């Protein structure tokens, strides 16, 4: 059993997004999250099996999003859907923890890698963002910030 990640390898966490562009993307991601909570809009492909959810995106996007199975860590995969953010179609992977929906918006990273997890709160929702080596991630939920950071760190490890 592994212990907590050593402090030197943990990404920095900052309490705000940097640019007006990031603010616009955060607004679009939040709007997509809230819109999806309306009846019958949560997911396009319902599946707790990543081997069903991941192939569903093929032919619908110009990239293959990672769909990690985090169930052993307490994150139940619910499925996925398409959304449109920052002028492009994006993948949204939906997890659940104790009836809280967590939406992971992701698309290829065409910027520099920045492992710092940026966070903010808007309209009662937590929003996290970072640029991984291959993907840009935006995570939105009404789940508490500590647990949402735990999910972000788990996603970064896959």
Question: If pLDDT is split at 50, 70 and 90, which confidence band does 4 have?
Answer: very low
The DSSP 8-state label assigned to residue 60 in this structure reads: T
pLDDT tens digits, 31-82:
776 777 776 777 889 898 899 999 999 999 999 999 999 999 999 999 999 9
Question: If pLDDT is split at 50, 70 and 90, which confidence band does 111 have?
Answer: confident
Give the pLDDT confidence score for residue 74 in this predicted structure: 94
Residue 156, classed as helix, strand or coil, is: helix
Is the Cβ–Cβ distance between 76 and 48 less than 8 Å?
yes
Indicate whether 15 pLDDT > 60: no
Question: If pLDDT is split at 50, 70 and 90, which confidence band does 16 have?
Answer: low
Residue 27: burial class (beta carbons within 10 Å; 0-12, 13-18, 19+): middle
What residues are paired with 141 via a beta bridge? 102, 126
Which of the residue ranges 44-48, 98-102, 146-150, 151-155 would you say has the lowest mean pLDDT? 44-48
Q: Rounded to whole angstroms, what are the CA distances from 91 to 8, 111, 155?
A: 31, 18, 15
């Amino acid at each position: 059993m592994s212990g907590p990640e050593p402090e030197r390898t943990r990404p920095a966490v900052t309490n705000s997004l940097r640019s007006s562009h990031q603010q616009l993307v955060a607004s679009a991601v939040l709007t997509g999250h809230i819109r999806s909570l309306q009846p019958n809009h949560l997911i396009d492909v319902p599946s707790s099996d990543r081997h069903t959810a991941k192939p569903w995106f093929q032919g619908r996007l110009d990239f293959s999003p990672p769909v990690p199975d985090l169930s052993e860590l307490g994150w139940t995969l619910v499925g996925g859907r398409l959304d449109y953010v920052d002028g492009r179609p994006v993948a949204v992977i939906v997890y659940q923890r104790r009836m809280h929906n967590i939406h992971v918006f992701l698309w290829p990273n065409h910027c520099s890698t920045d492992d710092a997890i940026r966070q903010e709160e808007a309209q009662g929702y937590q929003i996290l963002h970072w640029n991984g080596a291959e993907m840009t991630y935006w995570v939105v939920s009404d789940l508490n910030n500590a647990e949402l950071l735990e999910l972000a760190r788990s996603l970064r490890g896959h």
